[in-house]
Chains A and B, each alone.
Chain A
Amino acid sequence: MRIGMFMREALRSIRSNAAISVAATVTALIAVFILGAFIPSFLYVRSAVNVQQSKVDVDVYISDTATVAQVNSLRDRLSGLKSNGTISEMTYVSKDDALRIMRARLRDPSVLDELPSNPLPAKFNVKPTDPENADAIVAAVKNDPALDPTEGIVYPQSTANRLLTAAKFVQWAGFALIGILLLAAVLLIGNTIRLSIFARRREVEVMKLVGATNWFIRWPFMIEGVLCGLAGAIMAVGMLWGIKVGVVDAWAAGADSALTKTDSPSSITFPMLTVLLVGAGALLGAIGSGITLRRFLRI
């Protein structure tokens, strides 16, 4: 009953202050749209970085002249790194395996038949639990006698380092930007609602005069803020949906099929994003009007 009355009061105030309500809605629309475009992009980039990070692996090449004992000692050393958590996976690739992989990769495998012997060394392929561990792995085995003198240890060092920097940057810049965006949205909506309340401060005075409690006055304004926030959020979600279907999906379908493999970067699902944005819109409206009202209720 009471909620019904506050609803009616809120709708009345939206009707009688149509211009300001539209302004608040558009503000919410813009804030939520920017947020809605940014969050999936941020998550996509972060996920892309993670996928690349998981691909950083270290190849430890074994000299053809190494004895079985030397190879075993190298294996033990790497196993030690695995048990202390530096390495997540290690696989032994024999000379024959290496040749088979090479053969599979070549367009014309027949060229390999020309070779007098298998020139490819055997190797341990090692996946670090974290790309940051790559240096530690190199340090641990670089003087091992079993290492192949020419190949040694190979890992994409510069790629790894660049990825690490990028990952950290994306992470922090993303969180900071989301924070700033949310703050800006609250302030913008608050400011718009301040206009609405300022236009009606005489009305608030009258309400206080007849003995309305602060919450009695506040509820309709909060509901008004929530309704404007919701309306803006729903429109923003609609626009984002249009962009997703019209631009992003079309682009993804036309892009290299590698992008759609299971380990390709992923982002937030659209229904999830919708829930998040609509919730954010309502919350922005409520907080915006709640904060703004405080000043006007001190009569």
Chain B
Amino acid sequence: MATIDDMHDHDGADRPTFTLVQVPDEVPDEVVAVSVQPTTRRRGDVFRPGAGPMVKFENLVKCYDGDVRGLDDISVSIAAGEFVFLVGPSGSGKSTFIRLIIRELRATSGRVIIGGRDLGELRRSKVPYLRRAIGCVFQDFRLLPDRTASENVAYALQVTGHPVREVRQRVPEILALVGLDGKGDRLPREMSGGEQQRVSIARALVNHPRLLIADEPTGNLDPDTSQGIMDLLQRINRTGTTVLVATHDRDTVDRMQMRVIALEAGRLVRDEESGGYHEETGEVLS
């Protein structure tokens, strides 16, 4: 059971700050987001630093009610600092995969180990701390509709008990980093899809996650906007954040040539260090 004391878990002394890094010129109009990875452990941190892979599934099986297999015997490992695409048709288990990582779902059998922590053994009261260490981005943005962009980002900071003064300073910073400088006062409904997704990325980043997961982040966006979002995720990855992107977006996967994990009907059908989106025929585009 979480208590009020759990909320006061940050003393502010060891909090890292954002730094701006010079961007290559081929990215014209955007500032690159670079979050310095936290080097010291934060209180309430559920991750165990230096404990092997960031994400590790061991013989994982997830059954839904009535013996429907969501995921079937998945063993996969994602190292810290990797950029990984999770691909597969609708219903192949991508979302289940992601929801297991943030423990919205629990494994039926097998193990999910995130940042060295076996989620099967994680107490319910620790789940909020797990989620603070993981940034999440979704297809439908999941912004709070009655709050401005700034307030949405600020909420993620308030949750972790940051003082108001610090929130006021960091929110504009991070909004600038995702390319939303000066748009902090807009409500989600006043923004384009791409802008909303940037807000949600800013919110995911603001707590310096070691792991950023994105479930169809470009699913609702046009191709140009999608590319902007993917570039942003890639830049975030370059700073050392592990990034896992579940996507349908064939073009992006083919273009970026990153590690691809392919699921089909709940089974792991392919895991390649550098590949493209899988054709139905099994042919790899690269």
Residues from chain B with Cβ under 8 Å of A211 in the complex: 128-133, 156, 159-160, 207
B224 nearest CB across to chain A (Å): 27
- Residues 105-145 of A, flagged 1 when their CB comes within 8 A of B and 0 if not, give 00000000000000000000000000000000000000000
Interface: A210 (CB within 8 A)? yes
- Bound complex: CA of A65 vs CA of B97, how far in Å? 107
Interface: B112 (CB within 8 A)? no
- Residues 191-206 of A, flagged 1 when their CB comes within 8 A of B and 0 if not, give 0000000000011011
Interface: B68 (CB within 8 A)? no
Residues from chain B with Cβ under 8 Å of A205 in the complex: 142
- Residues 120-134 of B, flagged 1 when their CB comes within 8 A of A and 0 if not, give 000001001111110
- Bound complex: CA of A217 vs CA of B128, how far in Å? 11
Contacts A1-B163, A208-B128 given; indicate if A213 touches B6 (C-beta within 8 A). Answer: yes
B143 and A212 contact, CB distance less than 8 A: no
Residues from chain A with Cβ under 8 Å of B131 in the complex: 208-211
What bracket does the count of chain A residues touching chain B fall in?
Answer: 20 to 34
- Bound complex: CA of A208 vs CA of B130, how far in Å? 11
- Bound complex: CA of A20 vs CA of B1, how far in Å? 29
- A contact patch SS: helix
B163 nearest CB across to chain A (Å): 7
Interface: A172 (CB within 8 A)? no
Contact partner of A12 (CB less than 8 A), chosen from B125, B143, B146, is B146
Contact partner of A213 (CB less than 8 A), chosen from B7, B102, B133, is B7
Interface: A41 (CB within 8 A)? no
Interface: B279 (CB within 8 A)? no
B155 and A213 contact, CB distance less than 8 A: no
- Closest partner residue, chain B, to A205 (CB atom): B142
B207 nearest CB across to chain A (Å): 7
Interface: A299 (CB within 8 A)? yes
- Bound complex: CA of A5 vs CA of B144, how far in Å? 17
Interface: B208 (CB within 8 A)? no
Interface: A269 (CB within 8 A)? no
Interface: B191 (CB within 8 A)? no
A174 nearest CB across to chain B (Å): 38
- Bound complex: CA of A215 vs CA of B7, how far in Å? 9
Interface: A16 (CB within 8 A)? yes
B159 and A212 contact, CB distance less than 8 A: yes
- Bound complex: CA of A210 vs CA of B142, how far in Å? 10
Residues from chain A with Cβ under 8 Å of B4 in the complex: 215
A209 and B159 contact, CB distance less than 8 A: no
Contacts A1-B164, A5-B158, A299-B104 given; indicate if A209 touches B136 (C-beta within 8 A). Answer: yes
* Chain A 6-62 residues near chain B, CB threshold 8 A: 12, 16
* Chain A 166-220 residues near chain B, CB threshold 8 A: 202-203, 205-216
Interface: A261 (CB within 8 A)? no
Residues from chain A with Cβ under 8 Å of B136 in the complex: 209-210
B258 nearest CB across to chain A (Å): 25
B155 and A209 contact, CB distance less than 8 A: no
Interface: B2 (CB within 8 A)? yes
Interface: A2 (CB within 8 A)? yes
A202 nearest CB across to chain B (Å): 8
Residues from chain B with Cβ under 8 Å of A215 in the complex: 2-4, 6-7
- Residues 126-170 of B, flagged 1 when their CB comes within 8 A of A and 0 if not, give 001111110010000011111000000001101110011000000
- Given contact pairs A210-B207, A211-B132, enumerate 11 new A-B contacts (beta carbons under 8 Å): A1-B164, A206-B142, A206-B143, A206-B144, A210-B136, A212-B128, A213-B2, A213-B6, A216-B7, A216-B128, A216-B159
Can you report 12 A-B residue pairs in the complex whose CB atoms are below 8 A from each other?
Answer: A202-B142, A207-B159, A208-B131, A211-B128, A211-B131, A211-B160, A211-B207, A213-B128, A215-B2, A215-B6, A215-B7, A216-B7
Q: Give A residues with C-beta under 8 Å from B.
A: 1-2, 5, 12, 16, 202-203, 205-216, 299
For the complex of A and B, 8 pairs with smallest distance between CB atoms: A211-B132, A211-B131, A213-B2, A210-B156, A212-B159, A211-B128, A16-B146, A213-B128
